[in-house]
Amino acid sequence: MSRQNTIDKALDCYDDEKNGYYKRLADLVAVPSESQNPDRVPSLYQYLEEQMVPAFTKLGFETKIYDNPFDSCGPVLLATRIEDESLPTIFAYGHGDVVLGMEGQWEEDRDPWALTFDGDKIYGRGTADNKGQHLAHMVAIESVLETRGKLGINVKFVIETGEENGSRGLREIIHDNRDDFASDAMLASDGPRANIAEPNISLGNRGCMNFGLEANFREGGHHSGNWGGLLRSPAHRLNHAISSIISPKGEILVEGWRPQGIPDSVREAALAGERAAGETGPKIDKDWGEPGLTGSQKVSMWNSFEVLAMQIGNPDRPVNAVPPWARAACQLRHVIETKQEDILPSLRRHLDEHGFTDIEITEPPEANRGYFVPGRTNPDHPWAIWLKTAVEKTSGQNCGIVPCSGGSNITGIIAEELGIPFAWLPMSYLACSQHAPNEHILKSLMREGMGIIAGVYWELGSEEGYRP
Amino acid sequence: MSEEASRSGALSRGHDYFDKGGFEKELADRVAIRSESQRPEGLPELHRYIGEAMIPAFDEMGFTHKVFENPFEGCGPFLLAERHEEDALPTVLGYGHGDVIQGLDDMWTKGKGPWVTDRQGDKIYGRGTADNKGQHTVNMAAMRAVLQERGRLGFNAKVLIEMGEENGSKGLREVVTENKSEFAADVFIGSDGPRVRADWPTLTLGNRGTEPFDLLVDLRDGGHHSGNWGGLLASPGAILLNALATIVDDNGAIQVEGWLPPPVSNSVRMALKDIEIDGGPDAPEIDPGWGQPGLTPAEKVYAWNSFEVLALKIGNPDNPVNAIPGKAWAHCQLRYVVGTDRDNLISNLEKHLKKHGFENVQILPPPPQNTGGFVASQTDMDHPWAKWVRSSIEETMGEPPAIIPSMGGSIGNDIFTDLLGLPAIWLPHSYAACSQHAPDEHILFSGFRNAMEVMTGIYWDLGEGATPTGDAA
């Protein structure tokens, strides 16, 4: 009965491709739980009711499903295992929904809803984001239970099904059922490691604010010969408006969108972190973005603006007309120093001051609302220190600290609603194409993560477990 | 009958044609042929238009005809119809195009869609009503009215009907070059495009050219999570939009060196001084402050260049996801007047982008659906034929026509001016708000009825003998 036994059990399950981890993952991936597609709400229920509930029940958890207060949004599962009221309670988390399958766009016409093994890569929608990661936590819990007979702590495992659609409703569900969800610290895995070569914990996340920009001047197009030069062009106006927001080198030019007052501890932790995508990752553009910051700092302590999508005219069949409108789907990823409620007012002020009163800020499309509030636990918080130590003990490797991960997740909601510290232990890697076709995990890397998380759950229930 | 033949008799035949439904019937039959030249599927319809709509009509008027196949694969044919009365008479080359842009069937909000004409009050809706079926239908009917009134035209007529104008007139140049003597004439008089005002006959003496091209920023395959990578990966969208923002300023004025013509000349300023851009009641609102500073609206469109982004796509606009897109693409167009350094437009843009640090913005040929490029060309305002046409219109209308040195839209005018060496005079019948390249294309019945008078008057006068050629001017 030891940590090593637990890790061995977890790895046995992982390596048993026929009946173990990958068998279970294949079942999870087969559920087309697209939360950005309103037609898939039944799949979101199916994921919880047919996959999660039986699995957690087997692990001795009580389960409860909360319907989402918003239309066309998926439910939230709370699986609870209370061993002793006096023990600390860990809030574990995963999300069962995925982004759109993008069928037909995958290389070699891979099926997003099935696992495809190709060397060290295992393809499938949700393998990295997030099915493969919360499944690893469940296997870890199972291994501890098999080894020790009990966890030694209480666990509240939350599986939501709307993360890729901005976690709509999660805040309301937790808010209205605060006692059900009350816990002492959050531990979850999502997203990629900052550096493929070593484990890290992420102590925060950027928020995400999606919005539209639109120049909508008239109904219908007008012949570009007869009217070209006379009619205010929505294309030129919107192009200029966006060019006033972001420079050709990626610097953000909106006052109020440039974060002020980042703590030194965060700045230093970010500086220590190194981002490495692995061999297959995209090439990082060193000259892009805010000058004077390292790559890690750009992601951990700075905001980034993106034009996610944009359309002018009819791109499939261009005609010689001054287009009637131009529309862009935009996004600001932002750290806690930029208050979410200030983002759009700052932008409006910026546009007005630059003469772009004819550019409207619009609601993002229903399918990609993307609201996430940012959150951050300080690197010197006892939970962060405990977890870093546990990971190092288990892995024998240094555990890096990412003070704030680039991606957006639900930690802001957890921090605000439950007031608990949180930490993420990501298992994927940066080049996993998690929001694009060809999403995959690396078999070897996920195996490492499996071992680490099994060891961490063992440690949580040991005499040296986290005791706030 | 010939003793009673008169100018007014010809004009009244034209009135009957409009007032007794003849025009609407002929136009409906022609609009019903889906002669879309920007779609490969449209090719059989291009042939059908020549075979079923044009040849029988010209036959009836005693024209002979010849069909020239297009040297380019998949492009429509050309019809040359001819009525030769006497060697000593002047020969007029007329023009129309029977092809139309895409129907955009799903996008119509008025009428009965693109392929069925629908009269609503003064408006007749349908694809090609304005551009160009309605216009050559009027010109053919005007010749017919003169023929019926006088028993002969009194001049020699050649009429060219092309079937690929909306696809860049591919093959026209080659066919005319190969068969120059067959197209030879003394003057070109054709109709396309809009008048300066729906009720003001307009004489157009040239056209802006178009230079279509694409811009592409292609940084990597596929999208990358905008949270994990945002700030680290260069954004193709941000780069492309910034690049476009250097080509025109935020008020639409062109900023590329070598993309502008010399300053507008005094004679052009004079000709344009009374011309207001008025596209009728449904015309879009003109922003007087838009575009090149210091120019009147008429000067901006008839004597200056303009740049437009016709289409642009970044990511997936129908289903945006939270990823940094790998590519950003725009399809652009420069409209330019005679005097612009037309041979160096693309190389000047290359220099411009390089100067502004946009090495990663590629300039590419336009997409196959919209390759049409035209060169600018112009006939002098004081040319004897220009003056002659002006007085014929004045006789019909009792007041002078508007004169446009160079129309905003683009046509293959240089084929007539440069290749055939003809004075080229355009008499557009439509009006600016006709939505000719968009859904809801339409014409005004009243405007076209007036065009019928103007054209009948010109064709009548051409047979009266007092033309520049007849006078050996």
Residue spans of alpha helices (H) in A273-371: 295-300, 340-353
Cα of A54 to nearest chain B Cα, Å: 32
Q: Which residue has the higher pLDDT, A174 or A436?
A: A174
Residues of chain B within CATH 3.30.70.360 domain(s) are 209-271+288-370
Interface of A with B in 159-178 (CB under 8 A): none
Phi-psi domain of A149 (left: phi exceeds 0; alpha: psi -120 through 50; beta: other): left
Dig out the tokens for A101 from the structure: 């399958």
Instruction: Compute the mean pLDDT over every residue in chain A, rounded to the nearest whole number.
Output: 93
- Residue A180, classed as helix, strand or coil, is helix
Are A225 and B335 inside 8 Å of each other by CB? Answer: yes
Residue B473 has pLDDT above 50, yes or no: no
The lowest-confidence range among A52-66, A188-202, A364-378, B91-105 is: A364-378
Say whether domain B2-207+376-462 belongs to CATH 3.40.630.10: yes
Average pLDDT over all residues of chain B:
92
The answer to whether B100 faces chain A, any CB pair under 8 Å, is: no
Beta bridge partners of A201: A401
CB contact B314 to A (< 8 Å): yes
- Flag whether residue A250 sits within 8 Å of chain B, measured between CB atoms: yes
Is the pLDDT reported for residue A387 higher than 50?
A: yes
CB within 8 Å of chain A, chain B residues 323-352: 323-325, 328-331, 333, 335
Q: At what angle do helices A21-29 and A131-148 cross, to 10 degrees?
A: 140
Residue with tokens 């197009």: A221
pLDDT of residue B265: 86
Domain assignments of chain A as residue spans, ordered by start: 3-205+373-460, 207-264+299-368
What pLDDT is recorded for position B277?
77
Looking at chain A, the whole-number percentage of residues with pLDDT higher than 90 is 76
Residues of B in contact with A356 (CB under 8 A): 250
Confidence band (pLDDT; 50, 70, 90) for B279?
Answer: low
CB atoms within 10 A of CB B318: 9
Q: How large is the average pLDDT for residues B107-135?
A: 96
Contact B231 A222 (CB under 8 A): no
Tens of pLDDT along A152-180?
999 999 999 999 988 999 999 999 999 99
Closest partner residue to A306 (CB to CB) among B226, B301, B369 is: B226
| Amino acid letter for position A190 | D
Instruction: Return the CATH fold of A3-205+373-460.
Output: Aminopeptidase (3.40.630)
Smallest CA–CA distance, residue A257 to chain B, in Å, is 13
CB contact under 8 A, B438 and A220: yes
3-state secondary structure B199-227: CECEEECEECEEEEEEEEEECCCCCEEHH
Count Cβ–Cβ pairs < 8 Å, chain A vs chain B: 331
Q: What is the DSSP string of A203-261?
A: -EE-EEEEEEEEEE-SSS-EEHHHHTTTSPPHHHHHHHHHHHHB-TT--B--TTSS---
pLDDT at residue B371, as a whole number: 66
- What single-letter amino acid sits at A411? T
Dihedrals φ, ψ of A150, to 5°? -150, 165
pLDDT of residue A280: 61
B364 and chain A in contact, CB less than 8 A? no
For helices B236-247 and B345-355, angle between their N-to-C axes, nearest 10 degrees: 120
Q: What is the pLDDT of residues A84-117, one digit of tens each?
A: 999 999 999 999 999 999 999 999 999 999 999 9
* Overall average pLDDT of the B160-185 stretch: 94
Contact (CB, 8 A) for A334 and A257: yes
Q: What is the pLDDT of residues A265-318, one digit of tens each?
A: 888 888 876 655 555 678 889 999 999 999 888 988 999 999 999 999 999 988
Chain A residues inside the 8 Å CB shell of B194? 226
A135 neighbors A129 (Cβ within 8 angstroms):
no
Q: What is the pLDDT of residues B196-231, one digit of tens each?
A: 888 999 999 998 899 999 999 999 998 998 988 889
Kindly indicate the confidence band of residue A442, based on its pLDDT and cuts at 50, 70 and 90.
very high
CATH 3.40.50.150 fits A207-264+299-368, yes or no: no
Model confidence, pTM: 0.76
CATH topology of domain B209-271+288-370: Alpha-Beta Plaits (3.30.70)
Q: Do B38 and A317 touch (CB under 8 A)?
A: yes
Q: Please answer whether residues A402 and A362 qualify as being in contact, where contact means their C-beta atoms are separated by less than 8 angstroms.
A: no
Inter-chain contact A308–B284, Cβ cutoff 8 Å? Answer: no
Residue B3 has pLDDT above 60, yes or no: no
User: Which residue from A minimizes the CA distance to B286?
Assistant: A231
Token pair, residue B343, equals: 């041979």
**B residues 24-53 lying closer than 8 A (beta carbon) to A:** 38
pLDDT of residue A223: 83
In this structure, what are the phi and psi dihedrals at residue A212, rounded to the nearest 5 degrees?
-105, 150
The answer, for B235 touching chain A at a CB cutoff of 8 Å, is yes
pLDDT (0 to 100) of residue B2: 47
Q: Where in chain B is the domain with CATH 3.40.630.10?
A: 2-207+376-462
Contacts of A214 in chain B (CB under 8 A): none
Cβ A410 vs Cβ A93: under 8 Å? yes
In the predicted structure, residue A234 carries a pLDDT above the cut 90 = yes
